[in-house]
Amino acid sequence: MAGPAAGQQTAPNNAAGTLSLTDPRELYVKPPFSEQSQPWPGLASKMTPRPDHGETSYRGSGQLAGRKALITGGDSGIGRAAAIAFAREGADVAISYLPAEESDAQEVVGYIRAAGRKPISLPGDIRNEAYCSELVDRALHGLGGIDILVNNAGWQHSHDSILDISTEDFDWTFKTNVYAMFWITKAVVPHMPPGSAIINTASVNAYEPSINLLDYSSTKGAIMIFSKCLAKQLAPRGIRVNAVAPGPFWTPLQVSGGQTEDNIVKFGDDTPLGRPGQPAEIASVYVELASTRGSYLSGQVFGATGGRGGP
């Protein structure tokens, strides 16, 4: 299994153990990056530099021992970082992903298994309601239940103008980012016991929308409101709901149409920290929201933006 981004500094332990004092501006690679693009959906293994999902740095401390998690988009990016962290914290983990992402997904399966936990791989397209129902059924059967749901999979495509966004494009974005979240959550909730947690991935674009991401930003605003309202609905069942709003993170979403090649070269340089985030840097937020340590956290949105915008 390949390691984190080549040439970057080794990240300090971000879970159990002693944290080393490190300048966050210099912790990971910074732009300029090389021009690069991949066909959708993109693979982390083909990015330069390769993202760091915590493969070598994340150390668990038993915060999720015995838990059972379903993560959409768990093959790469933030979903992959969450999957690795959850497994090392003691959870069994099911991941959904597109069939074209199988090679990345199998790396994640290997990390989950190496942590001594049970992996379930669920390839398919979450734009399809029937598949969403099937993946929940398979995850429930394979894990023996679900008490953590992370709706993380997303679609993003750069368009300079509303005039460039087709109905098909608009539908693709909303089906992936909003409809799938609705379908999957609706299917999972009846099976979740009190103490369960739902975590949805929103974005800094819900608060400070990028000019080239009109449809994507709209879906992320919807996810933010969905999470706040659902938290009120599910509180009487003892289920907590929160969202995370990442800023610019170095993931395949960016190099497979989410940004122009020109934007990729300078990606993240407009944040106060001067670089994009690496998925490893946000995994602990998902762990905290999933664990009983976050027992009074519900209906909130937690930002990780490098100092720019956000909740």
3-state secondary structure the chain: CCCCCCCCCCCCCCCCCCCCCCCCCCCCCCCCCCCCCCCCCCCHHHCCCCCCCCCCCCCCCCCCCCCEEEEECCCCHHHHHHHHHHHHCCCEEEEEECHHHHHHHHHHHHHHHHCCCCEEEEECCCCCHHHHHHHHHHHHHHHCCCCEEEECCCCCCCCCCHHHCCHHHHHHHHHHHHHHHHHHHHHHHHHCCCCCEEEEECCHHHCCCCCCCHHHHHHHHHHHHHHHHHHHHHHHHCCEEEEEEECCECCHHHHHHHCCHHHHHCCCCCCCCCCCECHHHCHHHHHHHHCHHHCCCCCCEEEECCCCCCC
Give the catalytic positions in this structure. Answer: 216
Closest-CA residue to 305 (of 265, 266, 275, 262): 275
Q: The domain 64-304 is classified under which CATH number: 3.40.50.720, 3.30.1370.10, 3.30.160.100, 3.40.50.2300? A: 3.40.50.720
Give this prediction's pTM.
0.94
Can you give the pLDDT at residue 261? 85
Name every residue whose Cβ is closer than 8 Å to that of residue 164 and which is 6 or more positions away in sequence: none
Please identify every stretch of the chain with a pLDDT value under 70, giving residue numbers as ranges. 1-19
The CA-atom distances, in angstroms, between 170 and each of 140, 174, 252 are: 31, 6, 20
pLDDT tens string 221-250: 999 999 999 999 999 999 999 999 999 999
Residues 199 and 300 sit within 8 Å (Cβ to Cβ)? no
**Domain extents in the chain:** 64-304
Bridge-based pairing state of the strands 92-97 and 119-123? parallel
